[in-house]
Amino acid sequence: MRNIYIILIVLLFFSCQDFVNETPKGNLIPKTVDDMGMILDAFDIFEPNAIAFGHGNQTLMTDDCKLPEDVASSANPAVVKSYTWADHLFDVSKNDGNWEGFYHVIYLCNYILEKIDDAPEGSGEYSRDFVKGSALLNRAHSFFILVNLYAEHYDENTASAALGVPLPLESDINIRYGRATVADVYAQVLTDLKEASKLLSNKSEYTFQAAKPAAFGLLSRFYLYQGEYKKSWQYADSVLQIVPELKDYNTIEQYEPGQPDFGLDNWAPYSGWEKPDVVFYKENSDLSSKYYVSDELMTLMDPTSDLRYQNFVTNYKYYSFVEDPNGYRYSDEADVNRGISLGEVYLTEAEAKLRDNDIDGALKALNALRTKRYVTGTTDITETNPDALLQIILDERRRETIFKGLRWFDLKRLNKDSKTAKTITHTLFGQTYTLEPGSKRYVLPIPRKVIELNSLIEQNPR
């Protein structure tokens, strides 16, 4: 796959550095629709134009993860700072990968959206609608993740005043932006997603490419976070009308029983975008497979019936049958897509229908997923008490989305309700750290490097 490199490789908001004034040898200035389509196919996060960038480090901050001391001792300082909810995650001289990565994607999308309507066709490999819809979807996804990392969770009573993130909608790197409100960022995300869903087709060749189900899936999550539950389950249902049914985990077998690292039969190869049930692929930008499943989460998994446990969880060291004293890992073979996955969509539908007073619909969506995730013959859930059923759905969501980057956002939104709020503790090097519901630490600090170079951006209180 040929890659197109934009000559203005952006360090958005970071500095007024001089940028390259001529095309580097072997690279092209994207001019045609096809050139811009190739930018949107750069899915590897190690490529300069990594459109499939997915967020990292937030797994460490949740109650799903355990960081052993020997791993912490040799880890990047940001790993320990994330696990202990430090005031700042990065030194003043260091870049924050989430901020830099997503704003780079936004820059690329803005560049494309400015040029696409007047660009010549090229050879016709990519359609104009696909390129424009893809740019809108990827920009929406980036803004949505950013605002949920660096701002308070959406609250209709405060969103119009709460500080969100900068909202650049053009590719001019000389413009400096302050922080838009949470309401403004959400409004732009919604606008982009609605327009993208009209332009995109029902299916793309690869899961890192945009398609209608990806837009619908993100809209379903968007409305879940906003508390618009009817719209949330309606968009979830729109995904399920298009995408094939869930992979049945009963059909998977480990090549070496008890050690999934050696591979799985009837499962996709290592590449994350090829895994079953991926609707919209975003690459895992941290090393979450090097971390360990928390003791609490392990107690929520039934080793006798849960096929996610049986197929992907191991207490052996990497590629060996030596027991790991640190506990249990979630294997690299598992799906840790940071974008939209089909299991999330089913459970969003279940939760949203329950919150919309449709208990039967919630049970149907929940059991449809469980049929594919538990040993054949496992009893369906029949609970009809709304509070009890909600907890069952949330626990299932937690099991289904292990290390997919959603738990941090779920904790933020669930902490808005005293029934589902919880306190988290992490212990490291003999010290216990506590994160209370509603803590300011749920809003990540703006990178200090960014604030030093742009006085318009206000820091989050610590």
Tell me the range of 30-44, 90-104, 142-156 where mean pLDDT is highest: 142-156
How many Cα atoms within 13 Å fall on the side-chain side of residue 256? 12
Q: 433 phi and psi, to 5 degrees?
A: -115, 140
Measured distance CA(408)–CA(51) in Å, rounded: 22
Measured distance CA(432)–CA(425) in Å, rounded: 7
- Max CA separation in the chain (angstroms): 65
pLDDT classification of 134: cutoffs 50, 70, 90: very high
pLDDT, mean of residues 309-327: 94
What is the reported pLDDT for 26? 43
Residue 291 has pLDDT above 90, yes or no: no
Q: Using CA of residue 244, residue 245, residue 246, residue 252, what is the dihedral sign?
A: negative
How many residues are given for the chain? 462
What is the reported pLDDT for 271? 80
Give the orientation angle of helix 386-400 with respect to helix 359-373, to 10 degrees. Answer: 30
Query: How far is CA 280 from each of CA 39, 257, 452, rounded to the nearest angstrom?
Result: 16, 30, 35
What is the reported pLDDT for 56? 86
Residue with tokens 């539950």: 229
Measured distance CA(59)–CA(146) in Å, rounded: 15
pLDDT, mean of residues 395-411: 97
Determine whether 376 is exposed, middle or buried from the number of CB atoms within 10 Å of its CB (0-12, 13-18, 19+): exposed
Tell me the range of 67-71, 255-259, 271-275, 406-410 where mean pLDDT is highest: 406-410
Name the 3-class secondary structure at 283.
Answer: strand
Q: What is the pLDDT of residues 418-461, one digit of tens each?
A: 999 999 999 999 999 999 999 999 999 999 999 999 999 999 99
pLDDT, mean of residues 120-127: 92
pLDDT classification of 12: cutoffs 50, 70, 90: very low
Residue-averaged pLDDT of the chain: 91
pLDDT classification of 23: cutoffs 50, 70, 90: very low
Q: State the DSSP string of 313-374.
A: EE-BPTTSSSBPTT--EE-TTS---SSEEHHHHHHHHHHHHHHTT-HHHHHHHHHHHHHHHB
pLDDT classification of 15: cutoffs 50, 70, 90: very low
Query: How far is CA 230 from each of CA 116, 170, 219, 227, 361, rounded to the nearest angstrom?
Result: 34, 33, 12, 9, 12
What is the reported pLDDT for 11? 38
Could you tell me the pTM of the whole model?
Answer: 0.93
pLDDT classification of 14: cutoffs 50, 70, 90: very low
Q: How many CB atoms lie within 10 A of CB 76?
A: 13
What is the reported pLDDT for 287? 62
pLDDT, mean of residues 35-40: 92
Measured distance CA(244)–CA(365) in Å, rounded: 15
What is the reported pLDDT for 254? 94
